Every structure is written in C-alpha cells, then in structure tokens.
Copies of this chain bind each other. A is one copy, B any other.
Amino acid sequence: MATERPSRLRVFSLNCWGIRFFSQLCTQRYEMIGELLCQEQHDIALLQEVWSERDFLFLKRKLSSSHPYTHYFKSGVIGSGLAVFSRHRIQDALLYQYSLNGYPYMLRHGDWFGGKAVGLVIVDVSGLKAHVYVTHLHAEYSRAQDEYLSHRTVQSWELLQFVRHTSCGADLVVLGGDLNMHPQDLGNRLLRSHTGLRDCYTETDTFDGCEDGHTLIADNHFTKKQDLVPFEKGIRIDYILMKGSQRVTMKCESLSTTKGPVADKPFPYSDHEALTAEFALLHSEDSRQRGSSDTLAVSEQMEVVAEARALVKEGLCQTEALRDKAMHLMFGALLLLLLPLAMAFLPCSCSCSFSTLGLLGAVCMVLLLSGALLYLLFTTHIKVLKETEDQMMLTSNDLQTKLTGCQLSGSSSLDGSPEIQPLSPFKREE
C-alpha cells in the first residue's frame, strides 16, 4: 500500500487594490507584487481588483517565465478585476457574472461598474484536473445598515450554484478571493455547506499570519481605521477554500498571510493581506467518506437555505418598494410635463416665453427618462431575486426529500451536490 511522496500545490490570493488614480502607490505596489510572485513561485496566483488591463499586462510580462499561463476575466464596464497566473497549463476558462451587483447610480461605491463575477479556470496540475475559481463579491460599506446584503446573498447563492454544477469532474477544487463576508456570515455558511468547500484557515495544520486570520488589519499602512470599526483587531474577508474528490484528498498543510508592513519595503502590497496555502494532494483512501453525519449536514443545509430565502424575500420587498418609487417619479414627471403643455395652450401662458416652456419640458423629460431607467433596473433586480428564491425553494424541497428518505436511493449527499441515482428501471446485465 505504498504511495509516493504526495504532490504539492501552492496557491496565492490577493486583492490588489488596483484602482488607477485612486489607490495609493499603485505602480510601485504592482512592482512589489510581481517580485513576490516571481520569487515565491506559487503554482497558482489568484488576484482580485486588477482593474486596469495595463497593470495585468505588466504582471503578465513580469511573470512570463515563472507563470507562463494566465487568464484575465473581462466583464462589466471596467472589468471583473479577476486574474489568474499559473505555472501549470490552463485548459479552459469560464466566467459567470453575478446577476445582482449594486446600483449604477451609486457612483461613490462603484461596484456596479466592476461587473463582479466568478471566474473558473481548469488547470492541468501534473495530470490532475484542478478547477480553480477566483471571485470578488460586492463590498460591505456599512455593517449596521448594509443596503447590499441581499445582493451579496444572491451572489453567494450564484457562486455556490456555479461551483456545485461546474466542479463535478474535477480532481481538486480551489476557490480563492475576496468574499467581503466575515467567516460566519450567512453567504459564507451557505457557500461552505452547499458546496462542501472547506476553509483553509480552519483546516490548516500550521498557520502563520495575522491574528484570527484577519486580512484587513489596523497595522496596514493603507487601511482606513474607521473601516474596521467595531472590529478594531481586524476582519477576515479573504479566503482560500478547497475540496478534494473521490480520487484525490486535499490537505491544507500550511496557511500564511502577510502581516501589513513588508520587510525592506516602505509599504504593504495592498490594503488587504495576501493569503498563501500549501496543499498536499493524496490518493483518496476512502472515496466516499460519508456516514451518520449526512443527516446532520442536510439539516444544516436546510437551515441555511431557509435563512437565505428569508433574506432574499426581504430584499424582494425592498426592491419592490424602490420600483414603486421609480414609478412615482415617472408619473410625477408625466404630470409635470402636462404643465408646460397646458401653459402653452392656455391664455395665461402669455407671460411665459416658448423657451421657458421648453426648458420645463426638457427637465420633465430628463426626470421621466431617469424614472423609466430606474424602473427597468429594479424590474430586472426583482426578476433575479424571484429566480433565486425559486431555486432556493427547489433546493429546500430536494433536501427535504433526502431527509425524509423518500428518495428511491434513500441516500443523502454530504456536499449538497445532486446525487447520482441508481439505474432503477434498468436491469443490470447478467
């Protein structure tokens, strides 16, 4: 039963904070990030917030020897900001842009323009098929009054659905990125419980990094201290998650984070800390380590989905209220539009010049157009929220069926992925 020394895989993840003309010392930091990646020779580097294609191309040139395989995911107005650099051959790539991602009129936040998404690259790691996901979810600007909570929850749902349904043939699965969620936030629990992905921070044998694995810390030169309140010590919002397969067991042997200041450098790599995970890849001894905990897992999945469904419903009510407001704006503008028309034809209009009426009309038209655009926007959001709720309901029903043992197979799935049923109507060959 001897096996060779296990293969290893080193994965790096960093939110690069690469907003040109806004993020501080961008050029110098990309130089540092490039040097780090060249030197450390991680197998796969997952980068977020590489907003400028010029910066991506700089890294691509710099890493052409160490990481010859790369993919830069393009979506939205600015881009998704997601980039993968790999020492192993990238066979295929696929992008799923999240259906909800903030509002275009929230220029101050700007997430909408980023086209947030999850990117998948299929990497041939010495003969193993690795499905590697990189993602970046909508930012949380206020924990107390988080107006994007339902959007982030829908994104978490779409992320887990995408991972569940595209990771089926993989030997190993890695997901890295900035989830913009604390470890026990609903979206995070949803993702872990329904995909079977495990958090490297809780799974690792050894950890070397910031206290509690924080990736936003007060010690970082670029961090605005007010963004951390009330978590003065720091927040963990960047993750590397992983799962093996029936063929391969993934073991996280070590996880490390940067700790703000960088030795011999005047400033950190980014306003986020970078993560590095080292995995041992072993032959799966027991390809289906399932047992009595299955029922427990299904119950947990059901609870989390129920919680998420309630939140999506709440988001739906809020969005319906917003759509109503947009409709009121439209009607208001239409009524206002009648005013210059009436004035133009009524005798009292003599005191108003044609131009005044025109100006008033133009203002009404702008208001009407804005109302119509907002109405369209919120209508699409409502469609997405309803679709998500329907999908959650299907999943709930499916889990319920599993739990009550009504299925023909009578078995339940630990990782939440749809179970392969026996060929009951077929008689096996004799």
Contacts and interface: CB of A to CB of B under 8 A. Distances in A.
B127 A383 contact: no
Given A3-B426, A391-B94, A425-B7, A76 B420 contact: no
A54 interface: no
Nearest to A409: B127
A200 to B, nearest CB: 21
B129 A386 contact: no
A165 interface: yes
B169 A376 contact: no
Interface string A405-430: 00011000000011011111111011
A384 interface: yes
Contacts of A94: 161-162, 165, 391
Nearest to A119: B387
A265 B94 CA distance: 47
A53 B303 CA distance: 29
A339 interface: no
Interface string A181-201: 000000000000000000000
A383 B76 contact: yes
Interface residues of A, number: 79
Contact of A71 (B72, B394, B422): B394
A204 interface: no
Q: Which of A365, A383, A420 has the most CB of B within 10 A?
A: A383
A283 interface: yes
A250 interface: no
Contacts of A89: 401
Given A120-B165, A425-B127, A1 B91 contact: no
Nearest to A1: B429
A76 B168 CA distance: 29
A126 B423 CA distance: 8
A77 B171 CA distance: 39
Contact of A74 (B3, B171, B387, B394): B387
A329 interface: no
B365 A74 contact: no
A300 to B, nearest CB: 18
Interface stretch (A205-213, A254-262, A353-361): A353-361
Interface stretch (A17-25, A58-66, A95-103): A95-103
A391 B283 contact: no
B169 A418 contact: yes
22 contacts: A2-B427, A2-B430, A4-B427, A7-B426, A72-B390, A74-B383, A74-B384, A74-B390, A89-B401, A92-B391, A92-B394, A92-B398, A94-B161, A94-B162, A94-B165, A96-B96, A115-B383, A127-B421, A129-B421, A165-B166, A355-B358, A362-B365
